[in-house]
Amino acid sequence: MTLRTRLCWILGVALLALSASGCAVNLLTGAEEPMFMSVSDEMSLGNQMAPQIEKALNGAIPDEALQHYIDRVGQRIASVSHRPDWEYHYVAVEDTMINALALPGGHVYITRGLLEKLTSEAELAGVLAHETAHIVARDSAVAMSKEMGLNALMVAAAAAGRGEAAQMVSVTGYFMMLKYSRTDEQEADEAGMDYMAAAGYNPKAMVETMQMFQELDKVRPIEFLSTHPSPENRVRYLSERVAARYPDPDALKTGKDEFKTAMLDYLRTHPKPKRHRDSLE
Ligand SMILES: [Zn+2]
């Protein structure tokens, strides 16, 4: 299928969505939300977009053991989520931005830039759990069900005649810039923390990651924070959640050594290849 066909297909889904109507229950909150896209449409859309997004993020890190490690941690999270029956793919990409994102239908990407800043398997689990919670809540499908999302997809489709790079940036840019509400983010943080703890990881690691973002952001703007609320507030409510719900967090796994061996040693000895293009930096 050509890129142009794919974009037309995406537009087709968007237009079909306009002719349908309905609501869906957010599994994280039990609340009803506007939803004009079926789960199977959402998954097909994510599967169609995934190769382009992966390419725009400078491609998957070409190491089977490293990818297997990321996926293993991710699948542990997915298996204790509200939707263990859905399909999830966790992929480490070469991009040096500090970022992670989730596509509709279960594709989660985490960048080399962010992985290099993490210090433990539990911190990795926290990031993957936050993204998994966005997928379970169908936050991107809700956003696409609103006018802004449909417009963005139509603009992307209309760009179909303007060369491949422009189209790719349109579709990818939409997802890179997709901003959920503050409430969606807090729900993803809280459900994510519960998922990581249920999967056996020390929930304090999620607080540490927020503190790391807070520190780095003093030096330069962090890409992850361009689409997320300020870390100060998140450190506060996540610390409160640990205190309220997890009396013995340190009994759960942190996994500093495992993360160093499986991830940091590889990244240090295999710098990002020059041939890759930092299209979004
Ligand atoms: Zn988020």
Catalytic residue among 131, 185, 190, 223: 131
Q: CA-to-CA distance for 28 and 192, rounded, in angstroms?
A: 10
Ligand 1 center–CA 180 separation, angstroms: 7
The letter for the amino acid at 1 is M
Using CA atoms in the order 110, 114, 119, 124, what is the torsion angle rounded to 10 degrees? Answer: -20
The yes-or-no verdict on residue 103 having pLDDT over 80 is yes
Ligand 1 center–CA 41 separation, angstroms: 22
Residue 92 lies in a domain: yes
pLDDT bin (cut points 50, 70, 90) of residue 221 is: confident
* Residue 1 token pair: 């299928």
Residue 279 lies in a domain: no
pLDDT in tens, 234-247: 999 999 999 999 99
Lowest-confidence region among 40-44, 201-205, 213-217, 241-245: 40-44
Structural domain total, the chain: 1
Question: Beta-carbon neighbour count of residue 245 at 10 Å?
Answer: 13
241 vs 43, residue with greater confidence: 241
Ligand 1 center–CA 2 separation, angstroms: 31
Residue 280 lies in a domain: no
Ligand 1 center–CA 140 separation, angstroms: 10
Active site residue 185: no
The yes-or-no verdict on residue 62 having pLDDT over 50 is yes
Task: Assign 3-state DSSP to the chain and report helix, strand, coil percentages, each to 5.
Answer: 65, 10, 30
Q: Give just the sign of the alpha carbon dihedral 257, 258, 261, 267.
A: negative
* Residue 46 token pair: 């994510």
Q: How far apart are the first and last CA of the chain?
A: 28
Ligand 1 center–CA 248 separation, angstroms: 26
3-state secondary structure of 118: coil
Ligand 1 center–CA 106 separation, angstroms: 14
Pairing of strands 32-34, 23-25: antiparallel
Q: CA-to-CA distance for 103 and 111, rounded, in angstroms?
A: 14
Residue 260 lies in a domain: yes
Residues, the chain: 281
Residue 275 lies in a domain: no
* Residue 14 token pair: 């968007």
Spatial CB neighbours of 223, under 8 Å, sequence gap ≥ 6: 97, 98, 99, 113
3-state secondary structure of 29: coil
Domain that holds residue 210: 3-269
Spatial CB neighbours of 138, under 8 Å, sequence gap ≥ 6: 24, 26, 33, 35, 39, 42, 104
pLDDT bin (cut points 50, 70, 90) of residue 265 is: very high
Residue 244 lies in a domain: yes
Residue 136 lies in a domain: yes
Q: CA-to-CA distance for 216 and 170, rounded, in angstroms?
A: 28
pLDDT in tens, 179-201: 788 889 999 999 999 999 999 99
What is the average pLDDT score of the chain? Answer: 84
Ligand 1 center–CA 99 separation, angstroms: 10
Ligand 1 center–CA 223 separation, angstroms: 12
The letter for the amino acid at 99 is N
Q: CA-to-CA distance for 71 and 264, rounded, in angstroms?
A: 16
Ligand 1 center–CA 228 separation, angstroms: 6
pLDDT in tens, 109-161: 999 999 999 999 999 999 999 999 999 999 887 777 665 555 555 555 454 44
pLDDT of residue 99: 93
Question: 129 with 196: CB under 8 angstroms?
Answer: yes
C-alpha dist (Å) from residue 140 to 20, 161, 184: 17, 26, 10
pLDDT of residue 281: 42
Phi, psi of 147 (to 5 degrees): -55, -40
Mean pLDDT (whole number) for 70-93: 97
Using CA atoms in the order 69, 106, 205, 72, what is the torsion angle rounded to 10 degrees? Answer: -20
256 vs 280, residue with greater confidence: 256
3-state secondary structure of 115: helix
Residue 103 lies in a domain: yes
